[in-house]
Amino acid sequence: MALLLAFGIALFILIISYVYFKRQLCQKTNGLPGPKPQILFGNLINSGILTGKKSFHEVMHQYQQEYGDKFVFWFGTYPILVFCSLEHAKAIFADRHTFEQSPLFLPNFELFCPHSIVTFSGSKWKRHARVMMPMFKRAKVIQHLDVIAECADRFIDQCLIADQVHTNLVRQCQTVTMNVIGFIAFDYDLGAEMNSKTKVMFEDFISVVVNVMFFSSLPQWVAKLYLKLNWKYQKTNRFLRELMENIVEQEQNNQDKAGEQERPKNLISSLVSSLNEQANDEQVSSGLTRAEMFDEVLTALVAGFETTATGLAWAIFFLSKNPHVQKRMKDELYQNDLLITDDVQSLPTLTKEKIDALVYCEFVIKEVLRLAPIASVTTRIALQDTVVDNTPVRRGQTVLIGMNNINTDARYWHHDDPKRFIPERYLHEDKDHHPSALLAFGGGHRACIGQDLAWLELKVVIIRLMQRGVTFEDTPENTGGYEERLTCFPKKMAIRVRFDRAR
């Protein structure tokens, strides 16, 4: 016991010493205002983020009101320069030679996926992007409309019970979006794998990722030690690696049978086709190693499980609060000969042309992505000294763009209250809003590579829900709020589901 206590004291002294000397060596805050940081935790505790009192985007809005469009936020021992205006975002996103993806975008994520595209920059990022990005473009994902619709039908038939209040829609949204990424990216039925054990595994993995992200205020060896001693993470990691190996093995067998004439049709086929253990960063077209391929598969699975599911959950929440929006969407479907019925066999096939004709439905998805704090901020690191709005930014400093701040700023959104859910705004003053005033997927060359798939997936699933006559009704317990995880989900959802009569 005495030895353990001595070890604990020594560890505490080492951590405090590390924080002290690191802070002494830290770059200055460039003359920007901001809340006073606390030892070790910076502004993570006094802002209410670590205690769960406030979400990250709520804190960014609060500090913008207190300090203006530019301020400093201490993420543990790291001072981050925060910029919250449209002009700031345009300048930072446009200068790809000065600003690159920051490690603080997903702190410590390299401990889980050291070979993932989201952790790379420079030539390594380019090599991975040449393999990954083409498969997520709209021209590719639009071919999977039927698959997305079928996954939505599975969601409706298996998860939505008429005249019942649903309190677990967030988890069910994760299931449907994982099914979509499974079929589209891997040609793999993850729905068959989504038993209770698999759900728990993914949830445990995300939980550990979130915890370790906040360890970025400490030396990285602390996070490594935590992962090494965390038996639940070790079990989860082994399970996910086995799942990925099964997916890769299945695709390799398919390619062996098909021969070399077959062109890659999805992400996993593209990844397996690019397999090259001699891949290096000197040749940007030299493919991926097996370790890199596994990490890209895991990253795609995490994204499919968490991010798009967040958007779908927020869409359902907003629709439950706005019955007139659901009615108008269904009227538009009816006007475009997409009859509303619960009989799947009689539903008209969704096509690209029919999807594009549903303008009001497009407005609804835009409004969801504008308001929902799925990814409320993004970060960049300065590759060289520069100036942003008369503020010097030194090489190696991290800047943060408050995307949700811009998305709801009255300076750029003029129709009614920009914090209200009003899809009709795109018919009025906000019809020609500035492109950078709606930042749902970041911007510049490091914008989310899966944004075309996420946009299409959200639109098709919501359209299918309306086409099947689903109506989401509000309840007194449906209070919303924010639950900060890898993304920010609605905290309390209690929504009654009803089905309309066919028309």
Query: How confident is the model over 103-129, as pLDDT tens digits?
Result: 877 888 888 888 888 888 888 888 888
One-letter identity of residue 201 = M
Say yes or no to pLDDT of 58 above 80.
yes
Query: Which CATH architecture describes the domain 2-499?
Result: Orthogonal Bundle (1.10)
DSSP assignment, residue 483? E
- 102-106, 143-147, 380-384, 465-469: lowest mean pLDDT where? 102-106
Token digits of residue 175 = 């299931």
- 67-81, 182-196, 393-407: lowest mean pLDDT where? 182-196
Say yes or no to pLDDT of 413 above 60.
yes
One-letter identity of residue 169 = L
The radius of gyration of the chain's CA atoms, rounded to the nearest angstrom, is: 23
Torsion of CA 153, 156, 158, 162, to 10 degrees: -150
Question: What residue has token string 């794998």?
Answer: 193
Task: Categorize the per-residue pLDDT at 24 as very low, low, confident or very high, splitting at 50, 70 and 90.
Answer: very low
CA distance 339 to 348: 7
Q: Considering only residues 412 and 106, tell me which one the structure prediction assigns the higher pLDDT.
A: 412
Identify the bridge partners of residue 166 per DSSP, sorted by sequence position. Answer: 495
Overall residue count recorded for the chain in this entry: 503
CA distance 366 to 353: 19
Q: Please give the model's pTM, rounded to 2 decimal places.
A: 0.89
CA distance 268 to 294: 10
Mean of the per-residue pLDDT values of the chain: 85
CA distance 311 to 448: 14
User: What integer is the mean pLDDT of 133-154?
Assistant: 87
Nearest residue to 360 via CA among 326, 403, 313 = 326
Kind plus residue range of the DSSP H or E element containing 400 = strand 398-402
Task: Categorize the per-residue pLDDT at 476 as very low, low, confident or very high, splitting at 50, 70 and 90.
Answer: very high
Q: Considering only residues 340 and 372, tell me which one the structure prediction assigns the higher pLDDT.
A: 372
Q: What is the pLDDT of residue 148?
A: 92
Nearest residue to 87 via CA among 441, 446, 434 = 434
Say yes or no to pLDDT of 10 above 50.
yes
Q: What is the pLDDT of residue 62?
A: 96
Query: For residues 295 and 271, is the Cβ–Cβ distance under 8 A?
Result: no
Task: Categorize the per-residue pLDDT at 411 as very low, low, confident or very high, splitting at 50, 70 and 90.
Answer: very high
Cα atoms found within 13 Å of the Cα of residue 338, Cβ hemisphere only = 24
- 34-48, 181-195, 318-332: lowest mean pLDDT where? 181-195
- 14-28, 155-169, 230-244, 353-367: lowest mean pLDDT where? 14-28
One-letter identity of residue 99 = F
Nearest residue to 391 via CA among 72, 173, 65 = 72
Q: Calculate ∠ Cα 134-137-138, nearest 5°.
A: 150
DSSP assignment, residue 172? H
Say yes or no to pLDDT of 149 above 50.
yes
Could you state, in order of their start, the residue ranges of all structural domains in the chain?
A: 2-499
Say yes or no to pLDDT of 71 above 90.
yes
CA distance 3 to 256: 58
Q: What is the pLDDT of residue 444?
A: 86
CA distance 33 to 30: 9
By three-state DSSP, how is residue 52 classified? coil
Nearest residue to 95 via CA among 375, 386, 376 = 386
Query: For residues 407 and 386, is the Cβ–Cβ distance under 8 A?
Result: no
Confirm whether residue 26 is marked as ligand binding: no
Outline where DSSP puts E strands in 62-189.
Answer: 70-75, 78-83, 99-101, 164-166
Nearest residue to 216 via CA among 113, 110, 63 = 110
Query: For residues 268 and 183, is the Cβ–Cβ distance under 8 A?
Result: no
Say yes or no to pLDDT of 1 above 90.
no
Sheet of 70-75: strand order equals: 70-75, 78-83, 398-402, 377-382, 99-101
Four-residue CA torsion sign, 225, 231, 236, 242: positive
Q: Say what percent of the chain tops pLDDT 90.
A: 38
Identify the bridge partners of residue 405 per DSSP, sorted by sequence position. Answer: none
Kind plus residue range of the DSSP H or E element containing 212 = helix 196-213
